Structure formats: C-alpha cells, structure tokens
Amino acid sequence: MNVSALPTGEPLPLDLVNTRPLSGGSRADLLGTPDRLAAWLARQRDRLGGETDRLAGETVGPAPSEADLAPVHAVRAHTEAALRALLDGRRPPESALRGLADAQRAAPAVLVPVWDGTAVTAPPRRTGPLGVRLAALLAEAAAALLADPAVARVKECEADDCVLLFLPAHPRRRWCSPARCGNRTRVARHYRRHRSS
C-alpha cells in the first residue's frame, strides 16, 4: 500500500495516524522512509497552509532524511495512543500527552513580524531539524484536536480489516471511505447472503 491509496481530508492528526493501515494482517508504515514522508507531505501541502515550505526552509528546502522520521513517528504514536484511549472511553496516557507537549517545545512556533511591501505579516517560524519542526507542527495539531469537543465523535472504521480513524460529518457514517471500505463491506455482505441461500 502506498500513501496515495489512503483517503485524506480528515483532521491532520487523523490523517497522520492513518498512515499505519492494516496490510496483509499487520500494520504497514506509509511514513517508513524519507521518500514516503515527502510524498505524504506533498499530499498534505494545501492543508498545511504553506507550512511545509517554511518547514523545508522556504521554496526549495531539504528533503526529509532518515533522521527526520523518528520525531514524526513519535508524534504519530503519541497521537494514536491518546485517540485510541478516548475511543475506548479511557483517559489518554500521560506519556502520550507529555510526548505531544515535548514535541511542541522542541520547535515552538514564533511569530516573526516581516514587511511584505504593503503590510506587516507575522508568519510562524520554527527552528531546528526538519523532522523536529514537522513533529512540533503535527503535535500542535494533535493537541488542538484532543482539546476540541469534536474529538468525542472520532470513530474507527467498521470494516473488519481496517483500523483507520475518521471524524464523521454525519452520525451514521460507518467507514473511513464509502468507496473503499464501505463498498467492500457491502459486497462481502451481499456475497455471504447469496451464498447461504
């Protein structure tokens, strides 16, 4: 499975957690290499509001490296641990909440006032290695989602072979993607019904 096969458009922390789908009975890692991380960032570019350009050092910055993977993976693990606990009606692990806070502290966003020719703007800037800056941004988004009352509506896909999370706009939504898991589930149900008759 590759990054482009995943549905996107969920809140950024859910899209991050969803980069570990089930594949052949085990969890795949769609951010397991620098190239895969770069591909995921490219898919999220519009949603990050230009932050990826700033993370990479403006227009043409460094591509992710092996060293950039660990901080991103750590934030993904902390985010998933907190979300899964909430899904189960439990308190999120203190280690997950602390990990998200630590990731943000490692590369805090500083509003840097600059003159753009007509007005002063203050885009956020982070310093440090790319992976640390990216982890801080993702941890910030995760903390915002965890603090949002909407987090109580997060669901896990009901397909038997799927672990993806989503935030339903409609309370009756059951699958991460109606076209992907929804169709497979309906086809399997139809097959079982007609096979037994």
pLDDT digits (tens, 9 = 90+) for 1-59: 666 666 678 999 999 999 999 888 899 999 999 999 999 998 888 877 555 555 554 43
> For position 161, what pLDDT does the model report?
84
Beta strands in 4-161 (DSSP E): 22-23, 26-27, 110-111, 114-115, 120-121, 124-125, 155-156
The pLDDT tens digits for 91-106 are 999 999 999 999 999 9
| Structural contact between residues 157 and 176, judged by C-beta atoms closer than 8 angstroms | yes
Q: Which amino acid is at 153?
A: R
pTM of the model: 0.86
Name, in order, each residue with C-beta under 8 angstroms of 139's C-beta and a sequence gap of 6 or more.
Answer: 75, 78, 79, 99, 100, 101, 103, 104
3-196: in CATH 2.60.40.1480: no
Higher pLDDT, residue 108 or 61: 108
**Residue 67 reports pLDDT greater than 70:** yes
| Integer-rounded Cα radius of gyration of the chain | 19
CA distance 146 to 162: 22
Q: Determine the pLDDT at residue 168.
A: 92
pLDDT tens-digit series, residues 142-193: 999 999 999 999 999 998 889 999 999 888 888 888 777 866 656 666 566 6
Give every CB contact of residue 118 below 8 A, 6+ residues apart in sequence.
Answer: none
Q: Does residue 88 come out as left (phi exceeding 0), alpha (psi in the -120 to 50 range) or beta?
A: alpha
Residue 50: how many CB atoms within 10 A of its CB? 11
Per-residue pLDDT at 58: 41
Query: Which pair of tokens denotes residue 59?
Result: 């227009």
Whether the CB-CB separation of 87 and 80 falls below 8 Å is answered with no
